[in-house]
A and B are shown apart, each in its own frame.
Chain A
Amino acid sequence: MVFAEQLSNTDLLQMYRWMILTRTFEDRICALWGKGGIVELPHGSQGQEAIAVGACFGLRRSDQVMPSLRARGVFLVRGIPPRVQMAAAYGRATGAARGKSSAHHMGDRSSGILPSSAIVGASITVAVGAALAIKLQGRDDMVVCFFGDGAAQRGDFHEGLNFAGAFRLPIVFILENNGYAEYTPVSRHTAAANFACRAAGYGFPGFTLDGNDALAVYEATQQAAVAARSGKGPTLLECVTYRLRSHNEVTPPETCRDAAEIDAWKARDPVSRLGASLVLQGILDASQQEALQAEASALVEDAVRYAEQSPFPSAEEISWCVYAEENGGLIVRGIP
């Protein structure tokens, strides 16, 4: 654990803080669904917080991340305020792209978050292109691309990873293997024993790791970053985890799964696990834990109020920004 060992107590507490905030946000937004207000169907990332936090912690501002559908923590750690994420889920003008995009797929240039597509897996090739640009520009930044086990069955996974390998691009592929593609278990959507072995087919390393261990994810990402930044090319990190909620909030967590299986994974909850570890090490105590939880709850409640009070976009905005602004001498658009 070369990199994880160097984390200060402040760093560790900060990671824990992000995990608490992510969990609190996700629990709240899932609870809000169906009660009016929220228009974006939550696809909760509860149980997978260690991956977003571990992979994003310590990245540079100039690095780029491509979030997956289930990556709330990525937005929060990269600096998107809970208010903006919540307003985006409410479809408000203060949310994502003035209500044009959603919380799950918004981009943000100043935070180094690439805009993603709601076509599962399709953003992989776009993330690869961002890494290509970084290489062509001669920079030593990198891209961290998140997606799930379901997305790994898309052709874009193959095309994107092979392309990245062929050009030795500075990109880390974070495959969140949460056991299910929507409602279908991994055992029924691939015959392979794991996903990490696929990297060998593309000529770069792949590792399977405990995706519920934030420090393990941090360590693996930082090691992959050394390779990416030094021109050695991509790494595939298969982070094994479990989705504690259902595919989305339309169905209960037990849909197509055994309650016992869910309970077993709850015992390996990544948030309590990091908390317990920090307590054991004397870095965190009960009162600090309470304070962090109170802070997260306050931030999320503030975000809900902000979203509820935010305006919807105005009608004339429907036609804004279909095209980027141009020098009018080069193009004449007949239709407004």
Chain B
Amino acid sequence: MRQITYREAIREALQEEMRRDPAIFILGEDVAEYGGAFKVTAGMLEEFGPTRVLDTPLSESAIVGAAVGAALMGMHPVAELMFADFIGVAMDAVVNHAAKISYLSAGEYCAPMVVRMTYGVGLHKGAHHSQSVESWLSNVPGLTVVMPSTPSDAKGMLKAALRLSNPVIYFEHALLYNRKGPVPDGDHIVPIGKAEVRREGQDLTVVATGRMTEVALEAAASLQQVGIRAEVIDLRSIVPFDEMAVIESVRKTGRLLTVHEAPCRGGFGAEVASVVAEKAFGHLDAPIRRLGAPWTPVPFSPALEALYPPCAKDIVEAARSMIGSGAG
């Protein structure tokens, strides 16, 4: 199968869907002539013209608010926020308007739109250009929140998102843009709401989101060396959350470790842990463990930033302690 980058996969999804559906258009800061902060929309102005790829003022609240208004009028906007941290200034449009349109109109109106945003540490961009904010948005009924970790999912889930009638928050990890991976030719769609088992194992379940999936897979390979067979589940979307995939895996392994890049406290791992505690407690052979960032803002200095997200070594140590403490 052909290999393309995560960035190219997102761009392909946008191009194909925009050719299919004239209601889709892109708006954001420097998305047209410049091609986007991370060059995801490079070349799209040339193909689709200035009425479908729109450079906007530096006004995130207006970008997302206008996307909602355009969606109400039958368009299907894709709003790009340069960094997920900027959701802070567009939060009202997302949570109080986009998310509630269907409910507050008893289904008469809907807000088909995608808000794409780049998240994650690793580019030395400091506290305001690095955060993983997905759990902020996971507690808002009406939203759909996806975090693709591979080029194939990046393309297929964005294509699915652009065929939905609801607002979708689409998180792209800054360090994944250059990752290459197999992506099927043609109309490749990945349904949203199904987790994917990235590696099968018998001894513990590692539930990861976004870039933490590849970190978990690296850890699983190390654990194999010491005879621990970790199963790695990539949630892919946190709203909806594929509870059954996690529960079924824990029934098999008896151990749950959650890993994400957002701070551990109040992160989505807490929701995963709660569901397992409520619905699969009897299958647990060891206490649930959660890994995430420390309870600090993202530090700027590379020396500190490197310590911020969970790394493979953290996962290996947590897994070994869980195996050691369990009934086996």
Which listed residue, A119, A136, A156, A330, touches B70 by the CB 8 Å rule? A136
Considering only residues 68-120 of chain A, those with a C-beta below 8 Å from chain B are 97-98, 100-101, 105-109, 114-115, 117, 119
| Nearest chain A residue, comparing its CB with the CB of B193 | A332
* CA A106 to CA B59, docked complex, whole Å: 27
B75 touches A136 (CB 8 A): yes
Q: Are B96 and A323 in contact (CB under 8 A)?
A: no
Query: Would you call B69 an interface residue if the criterion is a C-beta within 8 Å of the partner chain's C-beta atoms?
Result: yes
Judge if A36 is at the interface, Cβ distance under 8 Å. no
CA–CA, A319 and B52, complex, Å: 35
Cβ B102 vs Cβ A322 within 8 A: yes
Count A interface residues, CB 8 Å.
52
Q: Which positions 236-251 of chain A face chain B at CB distance < 8 Å?
A: none
Which residue in chain B gives the minimum CB-CB distance to A323?
Answer: B166
Q: Are B107 and A321 in contact (CB under 8 A)?
A: yes
Contact, CB under 8 Å: B65 / A159 = yes
B70–A129 CB distance below 8 A: yes
A283-336 with Cβ < 8 A to chain B: 320-327, 329-335
Determine the distance from Cα of A334 to Cα of B235 in the docked complex, in whole angstroms. Answer: 13
Q: Give the complex CA separation of A129 and B56 in angstroms.
A: 12
Q: Is A126's CB under 8 angstroms from B193's CB?
A: no
B165 at the interface (CB under 8 A from A): yes
User: In the complex, what's the smallest C-beta–C-beta distance from B50 to chain A, in angstroms?
Assistant: 10
Interfacial chain A residues near B70, Cβ < 8 Å: 129-130, 132-133, 136
* A143 CB, min distance to chain B CBs, angstroms: 8
Q: Across the interface, name the chain B residue whose C-beta is closest to A143.
A: B69
**B59 in contact with A159 (CB, 8 Å):** yes
CA distance in complex: A105, B52 (Å): 31
- The docked-state distance in angstroms from the alpha carbon of A136 to that of B64 is 17
Q: Which residues of A contact B242 (CB under 8 A)?
A: 332, 334
Tell me the complex Cα distance, A197–B244, Å.
59
Note all chain B residues with C-beta closer than 8 A to A97.
Answer: 103-106, 108
Question: In the complex, what residues of B have CB within 8 A of residue A167's CB?
Answer: 54
Chain B residue nearest in CB terms to A139 = B73
Given contacts A107-B108, A163-B59, A332-B191, contact A127 B69 (CB under 8 A): yes
Of residues 201 through 233 on chain A, the ones whose CB sits less than 8 Å from some CB of chain B are: none
Q: Is B4 interfacial (CB 8 A cutoff)?
A: no
Q: Are A159 and B240 in contact (CB under 8 A)?
A: no
Enumerate chain A residues within 8 angstroms of B25, measured Cβ to Cβ: 136
Judging by beta carbons under 8 Å apart, are A126 and B243 in contact? Answer: no
Residues of B in contact (CB 8 Å), total: 58
**Pick from B75, B96, B142, B164: contact of A133, CB under 8 Å:** B75
Could you tell me the distance between the alpha carbons of A323 and B166 in the complex, rounded to whole angstroms?
Answer: 6
B156 CB, nearest partner CB in chain A, Å: 10
| Neighbouring B residues of A48 by C-beta, 8 Å | none
With A115-B101, A125-B61, A128-B69 in contact, is A330–B92 under 8 Å at CB? no
Contact A119–B109 (Cβ < 8 Å): no
Q: Does B57 contact A (CB under 8 A)?
A: yes
When distances are taken between beta carbons in the complex, the residues of chain A under 8 Å from B244 are 334
Say which residue of A156, A329, A332 sits within 8 Å of B65 (CB atoms). Answer: A156
A323 near B72 with CB under 8 A, answer no
Within 8 A of A (CB), among B175-220: 189, 191-194
A324/B107 contact (C-beta < 8 A), A122-B97, A137-B73, A330-B160 known: yes
User: How far does the Cβ of B238 sit from chain A's closest Cβ, in whole Å?
Assistant: 11
B144 on the A face (CB < 8 A):
yes
Q: Tell me the chain B residues, 216-253 only, with Cβ under 8 Å from chain A.
A: 240-244
The answer to whether A130 and B193 touch across the interface, beta carbons within 8 angstroms, is no
B280 to chain A, nearest CB (A): 14
Closest A residue, CB atoms, query B275: A334
B110 touches A324 (CB 8 A): yes
A162 within 8 A of partner (CB): yes
B40 within 8 A of A: no
Interface residue from B68, B163, B166, B194 paired with A126 (Cβ < 8 Å): B68
5 contacts between A and B (CB under 8 A): A97-B108, A125-B65, A129-B69, A163-B59, A166-B57
Residues on A lying within 8 angstroms of B by beta carbon are 64, 97-98, 100-101, 105-109, 114-115, 117, 119, 122-134, 136-137, 155-156, 159-160, 162-163, 166-167, 320-327, 329-335
A-B pairs, top 4 by smallest CB distance, nearest first, are: A129-B69, A125-B65, A129-B66, A332-B193
